[in-house]
A and B are shown apart, each in its own frame.
Chain A
């Protein structure tokens, strides 16, 4: 079929998925009465009850369902998801946008760390099947997979912050924060590691990195097991295939057979799992940011949940749903790029 046609087809399928995401959130919203839903759009508590009825009218919260969906969707797409009570009464969309750079920074460093470590350990585990390295790697990954994210985070803090005092909590130290929010510092991306470089203030980048170490380690510990497991089983499956014998009969060394021939095939199922990995990361981010006081969208969502701030939690869920669907789309396209056989379908 060729790449172009496949990509187009996949992108077209993406649109109903997005609609589905919005539908689900809309359905959850319907659990609430029109009055409850109206209060999401009002800042503070209205003194005059008629305010609520005016909001219901304006936002069409009492209309027949299909119409309601239409109006809600158009409002949401234009950025109006209600007011975030738990975040100081700013609009939910603004709160989300504020938190995105921090979370993006965290995820940006976590994904390569998980992928590289996971693939390396998975290959090592498969090649040494049932021998010592295999057992050790598998035990550690099962332990990592069983750790509650908040618990491992607290343990990391206890050891590296409380005990050894090597790192600190939050996004930046107080000094760095003062500089970053001052008027001479231009926040291009709002990601401190990058902004530090762009502003020529290397120490800010280092400060930010120091604060990122533990959260990234936490996310890695919890997620790497997934990659190790898939990579290992995928390698084992490929190792029993015909082309491995052919490669050996051609006189290729074991190194070349494993790293050139088997790995390339074994990586394919791993790509598929990257989608699930993203889900795990988005989940892990909510808890990790909370424990580490790292103010990204996860932190925002956790505080919203604690205070039962409905528009915030649902707005966050909607955002995550859209992002996750996009991530899956990218994964599918990458998959087709790597495995030539898929394009035929």
Chain B
């Protein structure tokens, strides 16, 4: 199985008044085709930033300082996403990689209908197909008798416009037409074609009565429906990689279960590769094939899900597993608090809280090393193995 995406030594920093926040200090990860990789860690450890760095959408005052994000596109090329310029990235975002976010109500634009927002993805990335469909539709209409000559004239005009768009989407004529309010109507057929796909997609996602839902505004839908709409926005172009950033955290438990089922179903049907970001170990256990544990901007352990739960190697991971509350067991926590990332601890960032700190831990930050097959740990305890 090949690797779909690989992060190499990604460093992200935020330049604030209070100082430079070293959010990601050399993150190393890879995700294999068809698997679900869970990215787990406490709030503030950098999980979301890792997800955003794949898209190169780190918000200011943050910046990607260095590192590579190697991604295998649909044509099989391997590109470093961090080195591409905006226009190339825009072709990949939404088409080959998509993201779903934590709060569906703020991820959706309140003044546009669900249908508009989903069809937007089609219209941006699947123009060709839509144009072809539109032209075929016009030709069919033209062949029917009983159309007035005015109507025929309009239809031929539309067809000419669409053909021009197919040839050269950025031509001056098209741009001029876009500015004139009345003539913008020609777009309606294109949008109608896109909407057909949207209806199909909503149906596949198990949303009842898709035609009605499409014309609704985000605030008219429940949280679960909104999240399904957000998922629908991520899927139209069958992306290779889906990044899910805490998609169920803000939903109630019953809805949570249904959304997780939905994501599993998508995985089954389309063999989707998913990066599942969460702080909930229970969700990790249910959804993921492999797990990467992050702490304070570093990936400290990566292993297959069963291995991580049964045999955690890094002291932090061990602490996490032991702190899962269980009836009959004494309640345990990891002593200390999450470090300030403006002045992080030297060497290994976990050393102030670790029970097995050694001298070397305070000086150098350990690298991720493959200790057992497919089990990586970044800890000096395992140096020399």
A and B touch in the complex (CB under 8 A): yes
- When distances are taken between beta carbons in the complex, the residues of chain A under 8 Å from B120 are 250, 252
Per-position 1/0 for B77-121, Cβ under 8 A of A: 000000000110111111100110101001111111000000011
- When distances are taken between beta carbons in the complex, the residues of chain A under 8 Å from B124 are 250-252, 256
- Distance in angstroms from B76 CB to nearest chain A CB is 20
- Beta-carbon contact of B219 and A246 below 8 Å: no
Nearest CB in chain A to that of B56: its residue: A248
Residue A253 CB within 8 A of the other chain: yes
- Beta-carbon contact of A243 and B108 below 8 Å: yes
- Beta-carbon contact of A252 and B94 below 8 Å: yes
Q: A243-B106, A340-B217 are in contact. Are A249 and B98 (CB under 8 A)?
A: yes
Residue B57 CB within 8 A of the other chain: yes
- Distance in angstroms from A263 CB to nearest chain B CB is 10
- When distances are taken between beta carbons in the complex, the residues of chain B under 8 Å from A251 are 89-95, 121, 124-125
- When distances are taken between beta carbons in the complex, the residues of chain A under 8 Å from B86 are 253-254
Q: A242-B101, A242-B103, A341-B219 are in contact. Are A249 and B109 (CB under 8 A)?
A: no
Residue B131 CB within 8 A of the other chain: no
In the bound complex, what is the Cα–Cα distance between A246 and B125 (angstroms)? 15
Contact of A249 among B93, B103, B110, B125 (CB under 8 A): B93
- When distances are taken between beta carbons in the complex, the residues of chain B under 8 Å from A265 are 109-111
Residue B295 CB within 8 A of the other chain: no
Nearest CB in chain A to that of B89: its residue: A251
- Distance in angstroms from A104 CB to nearest chain B CB is 25
Which of A242, A245, A246, A340 has the most CB atoms of chain B within a 10 A radius of its CB?
Answer: A246
Nearest CB in chain A to that of B104: its residue: A242
Residue A264 CB within 8 A of the other chain: yes
- Distance in angstroms from B102 CB to nearest chain A CB is 9
Residue A127 CB within 8 A of the other chain: no
- Beta-carbon contact of A248 and B57 below 8 Å: yes
Residue A344 CB within 8 A of the other chain: yes
- Beta-carbon contact of A340 and B110 below 8 Å: yes
In the bound complex, what is the Cα–Cα distance between A310 and B219 (angstroms)? 52
Contact of A241 among B57, B99, B106, B112 (CB under 8 A): B106
Residue A217 CB within 8 A of the other chain: no
- When distances are taken between beta carbons in the complex, the residues of chain A under 8 Å from B93 are 248-251
In the bound complex, what is the Cα–Cα distance between A340 and B94 (angstroms)? 27
- Beta-carbon contact of A247 and B217 below 8 Å: no
Residue B5 CB within 8 A of the other chain: no
Chain A interfacial residues counted at CB < 8 A: 23
Residue A24 CB within 8 A of the other chain: no
- Distance in angstroms from A331 CB to nearest chain B CB is 17
- When distances are taken between beta carbons in the complex, the residues of chain B under 8 Å from A254 are 86
CB within 8 Å: A-B pair count: 77
- Beta-carbon contact of A245 and B57 below 8 Å: yes
- Beta-carbon contact of B90 and A253 below 8 Å: yes
- Distance in angstroms from B198 CB to nearest chain A CB is 14
Residue A237 CB within 8 A of the other chain: no
Nearest CB in chain B to that of A261: its residue: B109
Per-position 1/0 for B239-252, Cβ under 8 A of A: 00000000000000
- When distances are taken between beta carbons in the complex, the residues of chain B under 8 Å from A252 are 90, 94, 120, 124
Q: A264-B111, A339-B111, A340-B217 are in contact. Are A249 and B90 (CB under 8 A)?
A: no
- When distances are taken between beta carbons in the complex, the residues of chain A under 8 Å from B111 are 264-265, 268, 338-340
- Beta-carbon contact of A247 and B109 below 8 Å: yes
Nearest CB in chain A to that of B217: its residue: A340
Per-position 1/0 for A215-259, Cβ under 8 A of B: 000000000000000000000000001110111111111101000
- When distances are taken between beta carbons in the complex, the residues of chain B under 8 Å from A243 are 106-110
- Distance in angstroms from A200 CB to nearest chain B CB is 27
- Beta-carbon contact of A250 and B233 below 8 Å: yes
- Beta-carbon contact of B99 and A249 below 8 Å: yes
Residue B376 CB within 8 A of the other chain: no
In the bound complex, what is the Cα–Cα distance between A308 and B155 (angstroms)? 67
Residue B55 CB within 8 A of the other chain: yes
- When distances are taken between beta carbons in the complex, the residues of chain A under 8 Å from B108 are 243, 246
- Distance in angstroms from A145 CB to nearest chain B CB is 29
- When distances are taken between beta carbons in the complex, the residues of chain A under 8 Å from B94 are 249-252
In the bound complex, what is the Cα–Cα distance between A247 and B86 (angstroms)? 14
- Distance in angstroms from B312 CB to nearest chain A CB is 32
Q: A242-B103, A340-B110, A341-B110 are in contact. Are A249 and B55 (CB under 8 A)?
A: yes
In the bound complex, what is the Cα–Cα distance between A252 and B116 (angstroms)? 14
In the bound complex, what is the Cα–Cα distance between A247 and B116 (angstroms)? 12
In the bound complex, what is the Cα–Cα distance between A45 and B43 (angstroms)? 83
- When distances are taken between beta carbons in the complex, the residues of chain B under 8 Å from A339 are 110-111
- When distances are taken between beta carbons in the complex, the residues of chain B under 8 Å from A250 are 93-94, 98, 120-121, 124, 233
- Distance in angstroms from A335 CB to nearest chain B CB is 12
Nearest CB in chain B to that of A246: its residue: B107
| Chain B positions 12-31 with a Cβ under 8 Å from a chain A Cβ | none
Which of B59, B110, B125 has the most CB atoms of chain A within a 10 A radius of its CB?
Answer: B110
Nearest CB in chain A to that of B94: its residue: A251
In the bound complex, what is the Cα–Cα distance between A254 and B89 (angstroms)? 12
In the bound complex, what is the Cα–Cα distance between A111 and B44 (angstroms)? 48
Nearest CB in chain A to that of B99: its residue: A249
- When distances are taken between beta carbons in the complex, the residues of chain B under 8 Å from A249 are 55, 57, 93-94, 98-99
Per-position 1/0 for B163-183, Cβ under 8 A of A: 000000000000000000000
In the bound complex, what is the Cα–Cα distance between A251 and B57 (angstroms)? 11
Nearest CB in chain A to that of B55: its residue: A249
- When distances are taken between beta carbons in the complex, the residues of chain B under 8 Å from A338 are 111
Instruction: A249-B93, A338-B111, A341-B219 are known; give 19 further A-B pairs, CB within 8 A.
Output: A245-B57, A246-B107, A246-B108, A246-B109, A246-B230, A248-B55, A249-B57, A250-B233, A251-B91, A251-B95, A251-B125, A253-B90, A256-B124, A261-B109, A264-B109, A265-B111, A340-B111, A340-B217, A341-B110
Counting from the closest, the 3 A-B pairs by CB-CB distance are A251-B94, A242-B106, A251-B93
28 A–B contact pairs at CB < 8 A? A241-B106, A243-B107, A243-B108, A243-B110, A245-B107, A246-B99, A246-B107, A246-B230, A247-B109, A248-B55, A248-B57, A248-B93, A249-B94, A249-B98, A249-B99, A251-B93, A251-B94, A251-B95, A252-B94, A252-B124, A253-B90, A261-B112, A264-B112, A265-B109, A265-B110, A340-B110, A341-B110, A341-B217
* Chain B residues in the interface with A (C-beta under 8 A): 55, 57, 59, 86-87, 89-95, 98-99, 101, 103, 106-112, 120-121, 124-125, 217, 219, 230, 233
* Chain A residues in the interface with B (C-beta under 8 A): 241-243, 245-254, 256, 261, 264-265, 268, 338-341, 344
